[in-house]
Amino acid sequence: MRYRMSVFEMILESFDIRKLNTICNEKSCNSIPTKKIDLYQYEMRKGKKILASLHICDSHFRDVVKIVELIKEKNPKVIVDKDVIEL
């Protein structure tokens, strides 16, 4: 049986969510964030469930978009989307 990564594990693989909102959440970056991105999952019974709030600099914004697309590709039954807020 093949192990399938959870959506949250896929986010943790690329981003350090332990960093507070003063530093970009990309693991190797120490830049000041310019965007807050709320990644959320829709659940049939509960509606919108926030998975993570990422604070990202401009240079790593595309990485978040790629992660969302990768999650959708690997877990087609999971509905994941994002809200972007300029800081």
Q: State if pTM tops 0.85.
A: no
Burial 16-25 (b: 16+ CB within 10 A, else e): eeebeeeebb
Write out pLDDT tens, residues 1-45: 555 678 888 899 889 988 888 999 999 999 999 999 999 988 888
Cβ contact 74:67 at 8 Å: no
d(CA 7, CA 24) in angstroms, rounded, equals 20
pLDDT for the residue 8: 86
Residue 14, Cβ neighbours under 10 Å: how many?
Answer: 16
d(CA 83, CA 87) in angstroms, rounded, equals 13
Chain mean position to CA 37: 7
